[in-house]
Amino acid sequence: MSVAVVLVAGGQGTRLGAAQPKAFVVLAGMPLLEHAIQRAMTAPEVSHVVVVAPASHLREAGAIASRSSRPGDVDVVAGGAERTDSVAAGLAALRPGDGIVLVHDAARALAPASLFSRLVHEVRSGHPAVVPGIPVSDTVKVVDAAGRVTATPDRATLRAIQTPQAFLREVLVHAHASGEQATDDAALVERMGGHVRVVEGDRLAFKITTPDDLATAERHLGD
Ligand SMILES: Nc1ccn([C@@H]2O[C@H](COP(=O)(O)OP(=O)(O)OP(=O)(O)O)[C@@H](O)[C@H]2O)c(=O)n1
Ligand SMILES: C[C@](O)(CO)[C@H](O)COP(=O)(O)O
């Protein structure tokens, strides 16, 4: 069963505030998208990457894909208005033999190859939906629209969820068939009653969202 990565890079990066969409912002001499492709393709299990780019930047994404170690194994398609739409566009471009799908944010450009491998191992061990998570160090409160606290969940039960998120292809495709939006793909599986397993994440898989995050990423690469 081959393993495909749907690498979503179709967002604008409004919170980063750069002149171009976030995936094309240069970090240590290379666009974030290129960092993400390199790391994904370093995982020996990964046979194919579908890059989902903004419709305005297909040519730029194609040029980045052509510089990868295996250009024939990287396809580029146009994304949609929301992240969920971009993932759906990537799923539509999977190849026939792709049985395991990892959905990954280009914005988590430093996620290491070892994280991809760990998730694939978990799916191959019989878990149809597996996501990486990090224990939270802050106390997290649930608030209503008026800012009033309605609950303080036990911190030990909470995880900050990252990507890549790994699924059996049929499970993910079925979950997306609902046409609903969600902030991550696992939530669609949860909504249809599917089991999602959380495994240990990786601090390097943090999401580059703001200029501060970009500076943090630069520091990591300088270490
Ligand atoms: N319509 C969209 C929106 C987001 N994404 C991707 O989803 C990932 C996570 O999204 P986020 O970090 O929030 O990126 P943006 O939506 O680009 O950021 P912002 O909300 O600041 O505009 C990113 O790799 C982004 O490119 C996408 O492919 N298509
Ligand atoms: C998928 C995700 O990265 C998991 O933490 C996250 O939910 C993406 O959120 P965003 O709203 O697109 O930033």
HSE value, Cβ hemisphere, 13 Å, CA-based, for 116? 31
Per DSSP, which regions of the chain are E strands? 2-8, 26-27, 30-31, 46-53, 74-78, 98-105, 129-135, 142-143, 149-151, 159-161, 165-168, 197-200
CA 65, 38, 25, 28 dihedral sign is: negative
Ligand 2 atom closest to residue 108's alpha carbon, by position in its atom list:
3
ipTM of the complex: 0.98
Mutate to test the pocket of ligand 2, among 16, 52, 82, 163 (most ligand atoms within 8 A of CB): 163
Domains present along the chain, CATH in parentheses: 2-222 (3.90.550.10)
Structure tokens at 15: 């919170």
In this predicted model, what pLDDT tens digit does every residue of 41-98 receive, in sequence order?
Answer: 999 999 999 999 999 999 999 999 999 999 999 999 999 999 999 999 999 999 999 9
What is the model's pTM? Answer: 0.98
Ligand 2 atom closest to residue 183's alpha carbon, by position in its atom list:
7
Structure tokens at 75: 């396809």
Q: Give the integer Cα–Cα distance in Å for 6 and 94.
A: 8
Q: Give the integer Cα–Cα distance in Å for 101 and 2.
A: 9
* Residue nearest (by alpha carbon) to ligand 2 atom 10: 183
